[in-house]
Structures are given as C-alpha cells and as structure tokens.
Amino acid sequence: MRSDAVKKGLARAPHRSLFKAMGYTNEELQRPLIGIGHAHNEIIPGHIHLDKIVDAVKAGVRMAGGTPIAFATIGVCDGIAMSHTGMKYSLASREIIADSVEIMGQAHPFDAMVLVPNCDKVVPGMLMAMLRLNIPALMVSGGPMLTGRFQGKDVHLISVFEGVGRVKANTMTIEELNELEDAACPSCGSCAGMFTANSMNCLTEALGLALPGNGTIPAVAAARIRLAKMAGMAVMNLFHEEIRPRDIATKEAFENAMAVDMALGCSTNTVLHVPAIAWEAGVELPLATFNEVSGRVPHICSLIPGGPHSLQQLNEAGGVQAVMRELLNTESGLHQNVKTVTGHTLGENLNRATVRDREIIRSVDNPYHQQGGIAVLYGNLAPEGAVVKQSAVAPEMMCHQGPARIFDSEEEAQSAILAGRINPGDVVVIRYCGPKGGPGMPEMLSPTSAIIGMGLGKSVALITDGRFSGGTQGACVGHVSPEAADGGPIGLIREGETIVVDITGKTLHCEIDEAEMSRRRESWQPPPPKITTGYIARYARMVGSGSSGAILK
C-alpha cells in the first residue's frame, strides 16, 4: 500500500505515534488510508452541508474496509464575491485548490482519495489535483439547490441579480425585490440552474470520475447521502482493482463529456475548466474542438437560465445518464468502452439508464437547437477565439451589429447600464478583465443581468475578455483572446466603431482594416497592473490565455 511509507516497519514508529495521538488504532492503520478532501465551510451555500456528505463518505469507506481521513481546502462563493475585488480571486482560487489537494496527497501518501466539492472553481481544482496525483480516486459533490417560488414562478439567484435591473427599469418595486431576495435561494446546494457549478458536476459524471446521479441529485435529498456512502464504498473497489483517474479520463472520455456539455447547454466556464483538467491528464483539447463537438451534438435540454427547467426536473427525467443514453442515437454516438468509477464501462452503465420525460430530455431528432449549447467565435477581434452560450441567446440576437460602447472595467459598464446610458443596438465592450488584466478574469454577472433586467436582452450584445457566470444569458461573448492586457485587438478598438457579432457564422469582427489595427498596435502600451502585491499579483504574472484554459505557466 502507498500508505506503508508512513505506517509500516521499525523506522515508522514515530509516524505511528503521531497517528495514535489522534486516536487511530493499530487496526485502523493496518487498513488502506483513504483521504477525503472536502471544501466544507460556512460562507458558501453549496458547501454549508458538505460536513454531512463527508460523514456519509466516511461511513462508506469504513463499510468497505478502509480508514477515512478528512482534510479541508478553500472555496470561493462566486455570488458573494461578485461585483467587487473579491471576484478577481475566484478563478485564481482554482490553482490554490488544486495545489493544496496535491500537497496533502503527496505529503500524506493516501492509498486512495474521495474529493467532496460543489461549487465553481472547487470542482475543477479538485479534478486537476486528482489527475496530477493519479491514485485511485473519485468525486462526490454536494448537489444542486432547489429552485424557489415567487409570484407563482420558479426563481433562483439570477432572478435576484436581474431584479436589480428591473427595479431600475421601474418594472419591479423594491418591496417585491426584498420578497424575491428571501425566496430565491430556499436551500443549501450549488445555485439552482445549469450554472458553472452544476455544469462541472454534471461533466464530472459524464467524464466517468463520479457515480451516476452526481450532477443532478438535489443537495437536500436523502439520495445524496446514499450516493456519498456509495462513493466511499466505490473508492475501495477502485483501490483493490488499481483503477486510477488517468485510466478513466482519456481523450475519448473528454469527448463524451464535451458532448454532454453541448446537449445540456452548460456554462461557458466549462471551456476554461475542461481544457485545464484535460491538460493535467495529458490530453490536448484545442478550443476549436468545442465547435467540432457542437456541430454534431444537438442541444436537447433547456435548463435554467436559458430555459425553463431545473436540475431537479432533469434528475427526475433520468439525469446525466439518461442524456448520455439519448446521445447514443446521434450519428457519432459516444465512446461506450471507456472505464468509469462504477467499475463498469460507460456502455454497461447506460444499459440501466432511461429517459423518463421527453420534454425535459428531448430526442436528438427533436432538439431545442440543432447545434450544441456553446459556440466559439473567431475574427479580427478574437484571433485566438471567444466563447458564447448560444443556447441562451434569443434568435434575433444570433447576428447583431452595432456601435461599440467601450469600458475598461466592469464597474464603469455597470454604472452606465443602470443609469440608462446604453441604447438598443449597442455592443457593450468590457476589456482589461482577462486572466492577466482583471486580474483573475472576473465574471460579468452583474452587467449581463442588468441588461436582461432592464429589457435590453434582445437588443444589446456584450463582449469581454473577462468571463461570465453560468447564470448569464443573452448575446454575451466572453474569453475574447488575446486579452486587452496582452495587446489583443479588443484593447485597440474605439468608441462608436461597428462590431459584428455573428454567432451563426462563428465570427466576431470590428469594421476597421488591418492596417489601422496594426498602427494602433504599434503605439499601444500595456497598462500598469491593477494589483501589485500578494497572490493575485503573482497569478497575473504566471497565468496563460483564457483560450487555453487560463493555465499557470
């Protein structure tokens, strides 16, 4: 066993003594030591209950003959971090989470691991560490929040963000917003809807590194506790069979996960995280691959925020496994022979899956959209690419052109939107918000929600070298690369110049000629860094392009 390095033999008597200081018995030390890395804390709604999930995992490990040993890592609540300096630290936390799990797994040589995250950067960060360590491991997440009810309709966190714009537009009273604020988030769990956290939890299941149900079973359901116990037992099987994460997370498995991404209409943030996770597995996933998969996989689930259905409804309809079963009917199908943490192949798992509701999970012959949920755009504004959640764009905004309204920070743009200075037809440009320029590539949920809330969602586009929350909807194009802080074209355009956002044609273009662009590039000077000390300053110096997953160099 790997843990023999700290518990076996004469020379390890001091090590055993330290274990015994914590109450471990000789019998426990003779068993495999199973690390349980979790992110339980009291600041993230998706993580407040993870102590219960960890307890259930421990029970499963013990039932299967292992000794569970829990340790914690950090996590950032993107909703609470939104619209202030804290959002600069959100994406950057992914690397700290990955590094901390790697450190714990190497300093204390566990025989296997179960990782227990739930929210945006914690899931990909832990997956990155899992693939670095490459010891038998799987993930079990905390599960999605239930939707709330307000004035007879389902509501969620994004409803509150949009409510701010509605108050400014005089279509909602402050008293109604206060009532909505109390109703929108009715339980613990990752925010209700196919936002980034739930997207990544679903894709972890599709990748084969989590048990069926991981992406959709509600946080408050007893089935979530049972799933955690099964995860504890499953990791012991992985240990005995010597099945490791890189045996599962192959190129074919990542292609399966990308297909599910397109079918579900997941967050644009998956285009940052999936390539970064694949890189840790030694699998290359160029940005253009997302368009290739989108072109052959239809969008068959219309989930919040782009559609009406919740994660709870998706779970009742059969969940991720049922979606994958339906994707077997596409021309390219799925790779069915890949391994999964169940100990069975994907094909064997899908033999037990059924679609229970054809409105929630449509047939591939009757999709919501013929193409997948995400599109990558290229052009003179985005030579390395830009990303849009096309399944959440109104038909009339699939091709839009208008004058650039340029802002060098999210705060400036938000103020202009709420003050009514943005007009129908405009293209809002928010730049110097990329991985280096932000720094940390902050999410733009406040301005995108304000655009929707003020009734401009079908007449105004937004482009940025920053990124969006999974809750963003509308013609919002992010990850524009190269970013402005790296001399990218988005930093060279000027107020009023015509921008063409053609999502159908996969292009993002500014109507200025290349000679003029070159002249501006020659005179461009990088701005001074916004933060010069601490972790985020180091991050800005080391981080790569958003087009390749914002991986640290």
Confirm if 381 and 487 have CB atoms less than 8 A apart: no
Nearest 5°: phi and psi at 190?
Answer: -70, 140
Backbone angles phi, psi at 51, to 5 degrees: -60, -35
Phi, psi (rounded to 5 degrees) for 423: -110, 155
Contact 473, 306 (CB under 8 A): yes
Collapse the DSSP code of 365 into the 3-class scheme (helix H, G, I; strand E, B; otherwise coil) and give the result: coil
Contacts of 181 (CB under 8 A, 6+ apart): 160, 163
CB 443 within 8 A of CB 381: no
Query: Considering 190, 199, 446, 469, which one is annotated as catalytic?
Result: 469
- Is 535 in contact with 275 (CB distance < 8 Å)? no
Beta bridge partners of 500: 401, 509
Cis peptide, bond prior to residue 482, ω within 30 of zero? yes
Nearest one of 307, 333, 303 to 316, comparing CA atoms: 303
Amino acid in position 88:
K
Residue partners of 378: CB distance under 8 A and separation at least 6: 385, 386, 506, 507, 508
CA atoms within 13 A on the CB side of 382: 32
Q: Residue 344 is which amino acid?
A: H
CA dist 386 and 464 (Å) reads 9
Residue 17 exposure: Cα atoms within 13 Å on the Cβ side: 5
Residue with tokens 């068993």: 31
Phi and psi torsions of 31, nearest 5°: -85, 165
Q: CA–CA separation, 510 vs 330, rounded Å?
A: 36
Active site residue 446: no
Q: Please tell me what DSSP assigns to residue 394.
A: -
Which active-site residues does the annotation give? Answer: 469
